[in-house]
Structure 1
Amino acid sequence: MNNNYTINHFNDLVVRAGKVNNVVYTDFLNLNEQLYFQNLPNNSDVICILWGGFDLSLRKMAAIIPRDYLYDSNVNIDFPFSLVKIEPVNHKFSDKLSHRDYLGALTSTGVDRSMFGDIIVEEEQAYYLCSNKVLDYVLSSIESIKRTNVVSKIVSSDILFELKKEECIFNIYPYHKEISQKIKFKEINATVSSFRLDKLVSLACKVSRAEAVSIINQKRVFINDETVTKNDYILPDNCVMTVRGYGKFNIILSFEKNSKDKYHLKLLKYI
C-alpha cells in the first residue's frame, strides 16, 4: 500500500477513535490495506480487529478500538455490515452466473468496491457482505443479472464476540460457519527452483514462461490486491495471487529444499 491519501485517511481514523474514545470502523479493506492495521505498533493507543464475516474471508473491515474503551462495562463491537443471499427468482430458467457476473452487478449500481466484502458463489446462488451504509440502496437496485431475474434477502447476521478484557483479546465466531465451508479449492503441489513471479504464474496458469511474462506485462497479475509488473518479483509466503482470466490462488511456500535443491510449494486455486 503506497497511496499517501489512503495512509493519511487511516491515520485520521486512528486519531479520531482515540479522541472520541469509541470504536471507529473502516470500509472493507483489501489484503494490502489490511497490512496498515496489522502493523500498528504495540504501544499504540488503539487496537484493531479485522473481520470479514466468516472464516477465510479475504476482504475485511477494521474496528479501531481505544484501549481505554476495552474496560468499559458497556463495550459493544458491532461491525456495520450484513450478509446478503442473492439467487434467481426461477432456478429452472436461470443463467449460470459466475463470480464476475455477481461482482459486475454489484459495481454496476455505482457503489464503490470498498462497500462490499467477499462474494461466495454456489451453483445457483451467491452470498456477499455489504456495508450497512449502502445496504438498502443495493438491495433495491439489483433486480436482474444478465438475463436472469434475481431476488436478494438479508441472512441472519448475529456476530458473537467474547471479549477477554484483561488480555485485550477478541475471539470472534462467524455467524455462518457454513459460508466458510462453501469455499472450495483445487490443490496443486509442485517443486520450483525459486519463487519468482513469472515461474509461479506459469505453473498456476499452465502457460509457458513467455506467456507468463506477457500476462505480467499486461498488468493482469495482483499479489494481495496490488498490481505487480516485475517478472523477478519474489512472492511472500501465504499470499493471494490473482491472475485475470485464470483465477485466484493462495500461495503456500516451503523454504526447505529437497534433495534436488528445489523448494516445495502448494497452490490452492479458488473454484
Structure 2
Amino acid sequence: MASTSESIQSIARTQEERILLTQIAQKAETCREKCYLTYTKFLDMHETALADRLLRSLGERGVFWGGYEQAERRILFFVPDWMDAVPTEGEDCPITAIRCLRSKNDALTHRDYLGSLMGLGLRRDGIGDILVSDHGADILVLKDIAPYLLMNYSQAGRKHIQTQEISLADLVMPDEKITMLRDTVASMRLDAVTASLFRLSRAKAADAIRAGKVFVNQQECIRTDKEIAPHDRITLRGTGRGEVEEILGESKKGRIVLSLKRFG
C-alpha cells in the first residue's frame, strides 16, 4: 500500500488539491489514533471524488453525508469504532439548516442566495446545498456559522428575507423543473449520452469527462466509454443535471432512441 504522501501526490493535480487531501488524511489519522469523531467541511462533487480515491488508496473508511440522503455537497466523517454511525442530530452533528422566508411577490434563485452568502464574507466550504422552494430556501450550513447567519443574513438578491434555524428533519425538498428530451445516440457510452443530454458535440463531452467535470450517480467518472443505463443520473459540473429515463428502441438508421430528463 502506498504511503500517505505518495497517494496524495498521485491523486492531486493542483496545490489546492494537495492541501485538501493532506487535511483529510490528517483527520483520518486523528480519528484512528485518538478515537474521536473527526470531519471535514463541505466538499463539492469533485472534492468528494478526490477524497474517495484517497480513502481507497490508504485503506481508510469514511462516510460522506450532507444533511440529507441525496445531498450534492457533503461532509466526510471519520467515525471511531465506539460510535455506531454518523451523528445526524444533536450536539455532535456539525450540520444544521437555516430557513430563509421571502415575500410571496419576490422571486429569488439559487444564485441570489449563494451570492448574498458570499457577500457576507462566508467561505463556500461552510455552506452545503441550497434548497430553493416556494417559501424561499432551506440552506445547509456548518452549525458554528448558524448564529452569525441568524444575526446578519437579512437580504438576498436585494430582497428582504427572514431567517430561522430548523431541524434537518424539516427540510423542504424543492420541486425540480423537468424538461423532457428525445434524441438518438450511436451507443450508450458516457460521452455519447452526455453530448445528447447537454447539447454538446461528442468531442466537447469527451473533453469534459476527461477533465473530471462529469459525474454519474454522484460519482466522478473520467472514462468516456463507461456504459450508461436507464435511470442513471449525469451531472456536468457548471452546467446542470439530467437522467436517462428510458431506452425507446432503435431508429431506422440503427441508432438508439432515448427519452431523457433535464433538471432545473
TM-score normalized by the length of structure 2:
0.69
What is the CA distance between 1:16 and its match in structure 2? Answer: 0.7
Q: Which residue of 1 aligns with 2:63?
A: 49
Report the number of matched residues. 234
User: 1:169-213 deviations in whole A, cap 9, x for unaligned?
Assistant: xxxxxx24x63464454444543124464x556533446x39x94
Structure 2 residue ranges without an equivalent (≥5): 1-10
In the TM superposition, what are the counterparts of 1:1-271 in structure 2 within 5 Å? 2=12, 3-36=17-50, 38=52, 40-41=55-56, 44=59, 47-66=61-80, 68-70=81-83, 77=87, 78-88=92-102, 90-92=103-105, 94=106, 96-157=107-168, 175-176=169-170, 179-180=172-173, 182-183=175-176, 185-194=178-187, 195=189, 197=191, 200=193, 202-206=195-199, 209=201, 213=204, 222-224=213-215, 233-234=224-225, 237=228, 238=232, 240-242=234-236, 244=238, 247-252=239-244, 262-263=255-256, 267-271=260-264
C-alpha distance in 2, partners of 1:79/1:236?
38
Deviation at 1:20, TM superposition (A): 1.5
Q: In the alignment, is the contact (CA less than 8 A) between 1:30 and 1:59 conserved in 2?
A: yes
Preserved CA contact (<8 Å) 2:241 2:263: yes
Q: Provide the C-alpha distance between the structure 1 equivalents of 2:227 and 2:97, rounded to a whole number of angstroms.
A: 31
Q: Percent identity?
A: 18
Contact kept in structure 2, 1:50 and 1:63, CA below 8 Å: yes
> Cα–Cα, structure 1 residues 223 and 202, in superposed 2: closer, same or farther, change >3 Å?
closer
CA distance in 1: counterparts of 2:125 and 2:38, whole angstroms: 16
Uncovered stretches (5+) of structure 1, i.e. residues with no partner: 158-174
The 1-side partners of 2:49 and 2:220 are apart by 16
The match for 1:163 is none
Contact 2:197 2:242 in 1 (8 A): no
Q: Which amino acid aligns with 2:162?
A: V
**TM-score, normalised via structure 1 length:** 0.68
Asked whether the equivalents of residues 24 and 63 of structure 1 are also in contact (C-alpha less than 8 Å), the reply is: yes
Q: CA RMSD in A?
A: 4.1
Cα separation, 2, equivalents of 1:128 and 1:52:
11
Q: Secondary structure at 1:179's aligned position in 2?
A: coil
Identify the structure with the greater helix proportion. Answer: 2
In the alignment, residue 270 of structure 1 is paired with which amino acid?
A: F
